[in-house]
């Protein structure tokens, strides 16, 4: 075999190797969209913002009564309004709450007026976004989220959580090191980012199961 022929074969083999290394597949064998450098930067920023919100929520001083919590929501000197208790929490204000709201409750949580950021450390009774929320971080386990309005980013790091997009819209969902069920009833498509940065679009009127770096349509 000539040197020229050997060179051609080596080039072809290298091309196949590079393509294989750069391709990302779902567990159904479908090739996911490859990420550009700008995509990688955006993913890192999304992860960083979610981590920052969660860190602030965990460090905040919590109150144990609903009355005290509602007062802190309106206190301009408090950047993170934090509740830790057993009450059902309802946020209903005339103006948008421009702060992070941290909640750890065995009751339910209902957002009936706009909020900048919500961190659910626990919400055993479920969570309903009935008004606009810029971002929701779900940290607690087995939290059932009902999206009935416009939500920017939903970040899930808790185990066995459910995200139901009922009447509202979600810009994007991040699922990291978690298991989750996503039921998309209204959005034409929703972008889901997995732990390894893979992005997958989930379709309208379909349910999906996410675990670690895999996403599949529910049976």
Q: Is the pLDDT of residue 153 over 50?
A: yes
- Lookup: tokens for 131: 């008004």
If you average pLDDT over residues 68-86, what whole number do you get? 97
Confidence at residue 2, expressed as pLDDT on a 0 to 100 scale: 57
Q: Is the pLDDT of residue 9 over 50?
A: no
Confidence at residue 8, expressed as pLDDT on a 0 to 100 scale: 47
pLDDT of 165-196, one tens digit each? Answer: 998 899 999 999 899 999 999 999 999 999 88
17 vs 125: CA distance, rounded Å: 50
Confidence (pTM): 0.81
pLDDT of 81-123, one tens digit each? Answer: 999 999 999 999 999 999 999 999 999 999 999 999 999 999 9
156 vs 193: CA distance, rounded Å: 10
Confidence at residue 213, expressed as pLDDT on a 0 to 100 scale: 83
Q: How confident is residue 219, by pLDDT bands cut at 50, 70 and 90? A: confident
Long-range pairs of 183-186 with CB within 8 A, sequence gap ≥ 24: 183/207, 183/208, 184/208
Q: What percent of the chain has pLDDT over 70?
A: 81
Is the pLDDT higher at 45 or at 201?
A: 201
Confidence at residue 47, expressed as pLDDT on a 0 to 100 scale: 85
CA 138, chain centre distance (Å): 7
Confidence at residue 11, expressed as pLDDT on a 0 to 100 scale: 43
Q: Is the pLDDT of residue 145 over 60?
A: yes
| Contact yes or no for 208/194 (Cβ under 8 A) | no
């Amino acid at each position: 075999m000539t040197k020229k022929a050997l060179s051609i074969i080596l080039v072809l083999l290298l091309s196949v190797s590079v393509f294989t290394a750069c391709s990302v597949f779902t567990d159904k064998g479908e090739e996911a969209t490859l990420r550009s450098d700008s995509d990688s930067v955006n993913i890192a920023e999304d992860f960083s913002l979610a981590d920052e919100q969660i860190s602030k929520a965990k460090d905040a001083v919590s109150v144990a009564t609903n009355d005290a919590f509602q007062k802190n929501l309106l206190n301009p000197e408090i950047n993170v309004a934090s509740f830790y208790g057993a009450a059902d929490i309802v946020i209903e204000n005339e103006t948008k709450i421009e702060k992070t709201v941290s909640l750890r409750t065995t009751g339910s949580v209902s957002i009936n007026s706009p909020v900048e950021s919500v961190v659910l450390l626990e919400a055993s009774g479920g969570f309903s976004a009935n008004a606009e929320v810029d971002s929701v971080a779900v940290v607690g386990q087995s939290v059932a989220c009902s999206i009935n309005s416009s939500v920017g980013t939903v970040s899930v790091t808790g185990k066995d959580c459910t995200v139901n997009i009922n009447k509202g819209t979600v810009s994007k969902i991040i699922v990291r090191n978690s298991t989750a069920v996503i039921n998309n009833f209204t959005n034409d498509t929703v972008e889901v980012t997995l732990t390894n940065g893979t992005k997958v679009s989930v379709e309208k009127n379909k349910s999906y199961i996410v675990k670690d770096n895999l996403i599949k349509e529910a049976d």
